Amino acid sequence: MHEQPLHPARRRLLLAAAGLASGALPALASNRMATPPQMRGPFYPEHFPLDQDNDLTRLMDRDPSQGQITDLSGRVMDLDGTPIAAALVEIWQCDANGRYLHRADKGSRPRDPHFQGYGKTRSGSDGSYRFRTIKPVPYPGRAPHIHVAVTAPGRKPLVTQLYVDGARENGRDFLRSLLSAEERAAVTVPFRSSQDGSGHLAAQFDIVMA
């Protein structure tokens, strides 16, 4: 069976998973705090979608998903700021209607059939990773968040959650409230307008593994 050619923009995104840029990157800070772990949650995929790449906004190259498209990027590093290459980075989140790709999600709103719901990639030689997804939306009882799991050889796997800076639901999210102020700051990032003129958002989340 012949594979369908990828859309040029999608191909560029997939190739970027191996590294965000080939030029010089700013030096990584040393002596960072480890990214705090959080629970995996009940909606880690029980059955993975056929499409598991790092672009969650297009499922099998169909129409784009609903929601504010976001370029989520960052670097995986150790406590000294040394990049961790070839780390498996996974993310999963609900769609723009607050629905997870999971049969245990009994929400009343329809699922977005164009949202992938789960994606994965490997960090590049400089520790960089990249996803195209949507800005997370509130889920009943929860602030907007993205689940993140990182696995690297010789290190304890990390599961955490990424929160949106300024989201009004942050103050009453029970899982986020279990974190210290410093820990909350480490997993809360701004979602800003991208500078590339695309009209999309951009967010940077650096991950520090112990």
Q: Say if 2 falls within a structural domain.
A: no
C-alpha 22/C-alpha 126 separation (Å) is 9
Eight-class DSSP state of 176: G
Q: Say if 25 falls within a structural domain.
A: no
Please give the tally of structural domains in the chain. 1
Q: Say if 89 falls within a structural domain.
A: yes
> Is there a contact between 30 and 139 (Cβ–Cβ < 8 Å)?
no
Residue 15 has pLDDT above 50, yes or no: no
**Span of 16-20, 30-34, 63-67 with lowest mean pLDDT:** 16-20
C-alpha 59/C-alpha 56 separation (Å) is 7
Q: Say if 1 falls within a structural domain.
A: no
Residue 140 has pLDDT above 90, yes or no: no
Q: What is the mean pLDDT of the chain?
A: 87
User: Residue 9's closest CA among 164, 144, 198, 202?
Assistant: 198
Q: Which residue has the higher pLDDT, 140 or 163?
A: 163
Q: Say if 179 falls within a structural domain.
A: yes
pTM: 0.83
User: Can you say whether the dihedral through the CA atoms of 51, 149, 165, 141 is positive or negative?
Assistant: positive
Angle at 201 between CA 140 and CA 20, to 5 degrees: 115
Distance of CA 73 to the CA centre of its chain: 8
Q: Say if 26 falls within a structural domain.
A: no
Mean pLDDT for the stretch of residues 137-154 = 95
Q: Which two tokens stand for residue 21?
A: 């840029």
Q: Say if 81 falls within a structural domain.
A: yes
C-alpha 66/C-alpha 93 separation (Å) is 13
Query: pLDDT-derived band of residue 10, with 50, 70 and 90 as boundaries?
Result: low
Q: Say if 22 falls within a structural domain.
A: no
According to the model, what pLDDT value does residue 130 have? 98
Compute CA distances 163 → 93, 114, 128, 183, 200, whole Å.
11, 23, 20, 11, 18
Structural domain boundaries, residue 170: 8-17+32-209
Query: pLDDT-derived band of residue 182, with 50, 70 and 90 as boundaries?
Result: very high
Q: What is the CATH number of the domain that holds 203?
A: 2.60.130.10
199: region left, alpha or beta (phi > 0 left; psi from -120 to 50 alpha): left
Q: Mind listing the pLDDT tens digit for each residue in 92-107?
A: 999 999 999 888 887 7
